[in-house]
Structures are given as structure tokens and as C-alpha cells.
Amino acid sequence: MFKYGIDKLTVDKAIAIAKGELKGKLSTEAIKNVYECRRKVDIISNGDKAVYGINTGFGPLCDVQITPEQTGKLQENLLMTHAVGVGNPIDKELSKIMMICKVHALSQGFSGIRLDIIERIIYFIKNNLLPVVPEQGSVGASGDLAPLSHLFLPLLGEGEFWLNDKIVPAKDILKQHKLTPLKLAAKEGLALINGTQFILAHAIKGLKKMDYLLNLADLAGAMSIEGYQGSSSPFKEQLHLIRPYKGNLEVAEHMRFLFKDSENIASHESCSRVQDPYSMRCIPQVHGASRNAYYHLQELAEIEMNSVTDNPIILSETEAISGGNFHGQPLAMALDYGSLAVAELGNISDRRSYLLLEGKFGLPRLLTEGGGLNSGFMIPQYTTAALVTENKTLCFPASADSIPTSLGQEDHVSMGSISSRKFNQVLDNIEKIFAIELMYAAQAMDFRRPHKFSEIIEKNFKIIRKNVTKLEDDRILKDDINNMIELVKNQNFVVL
């Protein structure tokens, strides 16, 4: 059981709650903190002092004071006017992770929201009531204003929910569940839509996928080296202990394990080749650098998911600080770095695929013995080249840009929402790149029989051959490639 507002949220726990594998609830301590903070907001909202977002307008209208009678309407107007997102809806799981992260932040007792609102969001999470959220429209500064507005409009009976794969009005779903639309009070609309939960949810989902793909990158590299009959010596521990980056050490260790007891590796230890191309022998340095970037992004994301990122922050009955905890820059920059790290895994994978086609060291050109009549595996590498280039264009850092909004009140923005979306696009592309490299590697390994490989590589080879047979004569490869992509997407490969 996960206690919102009290326990530490992690990538794995957020995903587990979203999948229904872990239950989240409010503890007595969290409920007490929420009540106490709400009491402070009630005192502030009935006072004469102007406090941003509680008894004033928003953005450039912060100099317009609002009467106590108008505060509820002010907060509801906020959600409705800020729900201006466009584009395709985000994945349903992302909507759920956004709600999980928002509940955890609100439950810490600095946001001034009533318990009823938090409990309604928890009901949505538990009952898989997932709001429809457009993917575009956030600049990642005052938080993810547009997507969070869409996420929480259903609290008011507005907006839309998913019903299986159909989009239906929220008011219809609320009726089915016998729920009455809620009315907002002072500060609550602002607490709901100020925050970085759109950026954060994309980071969480991407990190979970990247964790697997980093290990799959090592497997793909090892299988390519086996097919190429490359050397295992660049992965010796002594070499990496004198340049001991954490990621590099881990990758080198993985490679040693992947080659353990390989007859194929042992069969050419005394060959005349001096060294392999960089995409083979520099795997620990390249994959390791990407792994180091992953650790950095994971560290920042886990700080963010346990932080309070709305505005203003309620510290006492007299002090509500209008600060900048909603600004997405800490994650935006790291997500851009993450995209670069993922893209590099694709770059080096494409190079290894190319090497397997060259017809060197006992392999036939294009991995086919019937070259001429057959084109073999010539063309799938065009696909990896296209995907690698697409990733390069996606690596332009969104966080390097800023466009003033809100009549200059929000004069520096993070563009972190764009960074987070691009991060996941690059991840989707390298799934396809690895699928093709693994298909190539299995074909190359077939030419190394009767030599055997390590136990783990043999297991993965069998997984491939169960779904994609060895290419003898030309055939339509689209189905083979799609089968490989599904294996990668469904995480069917045995990785460390």
C-alpha cells in the first residue's frame, strides 16, 4: 500500500499504481496535513491582503482583487479558460500517471486544496476514469496549464473521459458512477493546474522504457559481435576500472556475462584481427554514457515526483509564497539530454547493422548466400538510417528556447512539455532500430553454427527464431520486422 503525501514515490511505484498492481491511499497524517493547510487558505481568502491566485486574478491580472464571494467562480473559470490544448490525446496511461503524481503533491499539505477534491481524483484513479488530455499546448512554465486543465475539467462535470477507446462527455460518466460535479473554492483551481505533472508523467513512462532498452542495447550489441566474430577483450574489467564511469562499468560487466562460455568467441581468439570498429569495441563507452544520462534523469524525476510544484505555496496563515516551483526547467534540460542519450543508442546500433552487411570475416554480403538474385537484408538498414536521422532532428533541445506568454508575466518558459514528448518519440524509434539489429544479428549468428553461444544469448536467439525464421531466399520482410518490433515493445527478450 502506497501512502500519498507521506511515502516516497518512485518510477516503479508510479507505474505500479497506474497498472493497478499497487494501491494508493491517504494516510491519517496526510489527511491532517491537507485539513490544516486548507484552514490557512480559508483565513487568507477572507482577509484584506491581496494574495495571488487566492483573492486576485491570474497572470497579468494579478493586480485585480476578487471578493470572497467570487473566489469559487474564479477558480472554475481558471480551469475552463486554460483548457486550450490541441492535437492528439495523450496515452491513457499518461493521464493516469499525471493524476497519481498530482495527488501525491497535493497531499503533502502545502497546496490548500480540500480533501474532497483529492478524494475524487483518487476515485478516478481507482476506477480507471481517465480524462482525455490533448498532447500540445503547454510551454512548461506556470506548470503544464493546458493539459492539467483538461485533466481536471471532469471534476466540474466538464471535459471528457475515455470509455474503452471512445471519447465521451465527462458528465455522462459521472452520472453512471452517481457522482455530483464538484464546486471549487479559493486556491483550488490554481492548485490543480499549476505543476509539472504532464512533463513528469512523460518522464516516468520514458524512464521505465529506457531502463529496459538500455539492457536490450547491450544484448543487441553482444549478438552483433557474436555474428561478426568480434573480440571480447575490450570489455575486460581492468580496462574500465581505470576510467570508472558507473554506466561504463555496468555495460562492460553485462558484456562479459553475455559472452560467458561462448564457443563462438573462443573459436577465434587467436585470429589475426587486431581490433574491431568503434561500434563494436566502444559499446561500454557509448552505451555507458547513455546509461549515465538515464541515472541523472531518474534522480531528477524522483525529486520532482516527491515535490510540491503548484503556486502559491501555503506556509502559514499569513504567508503564501508566489514562487516558481512550477517551472519545468529542471526536467526540461535533463529530458533533452535524455533524448540525446537514447538517440546515440540508435546511432551505434545502425552502424553495427551496417557492419554485418559488408560480407567480411566469413559472413556473406547482405547476409544472404544467394546475393544477386536475392537482395537479402540490404534494405532494412535503410529503415534504421531513416529512423536514426529522424532521431537526430528530434534532439534539438526544446529547453534552449523560450517564448514569453501571459503579456510578459511569464517571460521565461521551459518548453519541458515538448522535451518530454520528444524523449518518448526517440524511445519509440530506437525500439524499431533495435528490432532490426537483432534480426540481423540472428541471421549472422546462423552462419557461425555449429558454434554455441552463452546461455542467455541462446535463449534470445530462440525467441527470435520462434517468430522470424532464417532468411534463405528473398521474401517480404515487413512481417518479420513487425514481429521483431512487437517482441521489443512487449519486452519479450531476456535482458539483465
C-alpha span between 334 and 346 (Å, rounded): 19
Which residue in 135, 122, 130 sits closest to 199, CA to CA? Answer: 135
C-alpha span between 304 and 104 (Å, rounded): 11
Q: For residue 203, what are the CA distances in angstroms to 125, 163, 449? A: 19, 25, 42
What does residue 413 show for φ and ψ, rounded to 5 degrees? -125, 160
Beta bridge partners of 162: 167
C-alpha span between 353 and 438 (Å, rounded): 9
C-alpha span between 176 and 126 (Å, rounded): 15
Query: Which uninterrupted H or E stretch holds 324?
Result: none
Query: Residue 95 has which C-alpha cell?
Result: 493521464
Judged by DSSP in three states, 428 sits in helix
Looking at residue 90, the DSSP 8-state letter turns out to be: P
What does residue 132 show for φ and ψ, rounded to 5 degrees? -85, 125
C-alpha span between 385 and 228 (Å, rounded): 20
Which residue in 345, 355, 359 sits closest to 217, CA to CA? Answer: 345
Has 52 been annotated as catalytic?
A: yes
C-alpha span between 473 and 388 (Å, rounded): 28
One-letter amino acid of 229: Q
Give the orientation angle of helix 197-228 with respect to helix 283-304, to 10 degrees.
Answer: 160
Cβ(212)–Cβ(496) under 8 Å? no
Catalytic entry in 4, 35, 52, 123: 52
Query: Which uninterrupted H or E stretch holds 136?
Result: strand 134-136
C-alpha span between 413 and 405 (Å, rounded): 8
C-alpha span between 132 and 168 (Å, rounded): 9
C-alpha span between 406 and 60 (Å, rounded): 6
Catalytic residues: 52
